[in-house]
Amino acid sequence: MLWTIVCVVVVYSTHAFTSSLHAQDPATGKPATVQPQSGMSSPLFGPIGAVNPGNSPSSRKTMPESARPVTLPKGTKMVREGRYAITDAKPMASAAQLLSQKLAVPISYEDGAWLDNGTFEFDLPATTVGLLAAAPESVIQSVIARYNGSGHQGEFKLVRFGDDEFIIVAASLIDKNGTKSPQVLPMDTRITFPASRRTLFDAISLICEKAGLYNNVSWSGYMGNTFTETGADNETARTVLARVVGRRPVPFPFGKLGWIVNISRAGGAQLDLYEIRYEVAGPDGVIRLEGAVWYPESFNK
């Protein structure tokens, strides 16, 4: 199957964000808590989301004092406590963002070649205690299973990588006779290039080039001043991108990112990066969205 691909990586101005990572807390001598950028949003979803401190202190620490109010993803409403309904042509894209917002883990999404009609409903643990007690993978799997069993035109699967990082991936298209056709996605393309010190901007540009994608990467201070030594050895573009934007062995904290691959009706595809934010209750009891951060292991010592 030939794809007409548009690869758009939108990175929301993170230069000031990363600059603040190196400031020290005078009381402890450790790097100060990172303050989030205001006004960040995804072109696909509007205000970005991510939720609760989570089970893994090293991977789910967060940036406090955000003033951003909680916003549900596109087409999403809460029917009652713990039950959500999404009315959209791409409901699992919004579900991925909501799950990330509730579980404080990076959840990326790779679209299938179909559109949905109607409303998709599913349940999540209704309380913070319930969310904290649940394993993120089991919660995400339960939502995917609900979608796959609800008579939609396709099915999704879950791919896990790294430290509580996930991708909801289109698995198969179902025709009117119930026949399933496996989906071959742009991110399934196998690529190879030598390991070398590159900026994140250059590494993502190279992934797009090797995968035969149209490259429309937006440069930013963060992307142009942060480096990776990632190479690729006949690996899927998905695997390589996960290494580039996922947790890296660096001595400073940095914001968690996810990606969205959205396929148009004409067959083109768009790739966006988005900042992971999650719901947290402040001292005033108001729930807000905070940016989720990867912290070095040394922060726990």
For residues 249 and 14, give the distance between their C-alpha atoms in angstroms, rounded to a whole number.
19
Pick 37 or 188 by higher pLDDT: 188
Position 253 confidence tier, pLDDT thresholds 50, 70, 90: confident
Provide mean pLDDT across the span 28-32: 35
- The predicted pLDDT at position 225 comes to 87
Of the pLDDT bands very low, low, confident and very high (cuts 50, 70, 90), residue 35 is: very low
Quickly state the pLDDT bin for 246 (edges 50, 70, 90). Answer: confident
pLDDT at 25: 35
pLDDT per position as a tens digit, 63-109: 333 445 678 999 999 999 999 999 999 999 999 999 999 998 999 99
For residue 76, list its beta bridge partners: 86
The residues pairing with 36 across neighbouring beta strands, listed in sequence order, are: none
**Does residue 89 sit in helix, strand or coil?**
coil
Q: What is the mean pLDDT of residues 127-134?
A: 82
The mean of the pLDDT values for the chain is 76
Cβ burial of 59 (10 Å; 0-12, 13-18, 19+) is: buried
The pLDDT of residue 269 is above 90? no
pLDDT for residue 133: 85
Cα gap 143→136, rounded to integer Å: 11
Residue entry with tokens 């990175």:
11
The pLDDT-based confidence of 18 (bands split at 50, 70, 90) is very low
In this predicted structure, the answer to whether residue 281 has a pLDDT above a threshold of 70 is: yes
Q: What pLDDT, on a 0 to 100 scale, did the predictor assign at position 217?
A: 59
Alpha helices in the chain (DSSP H): 15-19, 57-60, 91-103, 128-133, 136-148, 200-210, 221-225, 237-245
Nearest-CA neighbor of 82 among 41, 128, 133?
Answer: 128
Amino acid at 243: R
pTM given for the model: 0.75
Distance CA 286, CA 280 (A): 8
Taking 90 as the threshold, does the pLDDT of residue 250 lie above it? Answer: no
Contact 168, 144 (CB under 8 A): yes
pLDDT of residue 299: 53
C-alpha to C-alpha distance for 287 and 70, rounded to whole angstroms: 7
pLDDT for residue 201 is more than 70: yes
Whole-number pLDDT of residue 83: 96
Contact, 233 vs 242, CB < 8 A? no
Q: What is the mean pLDDT of residues 117-140?
A: 89
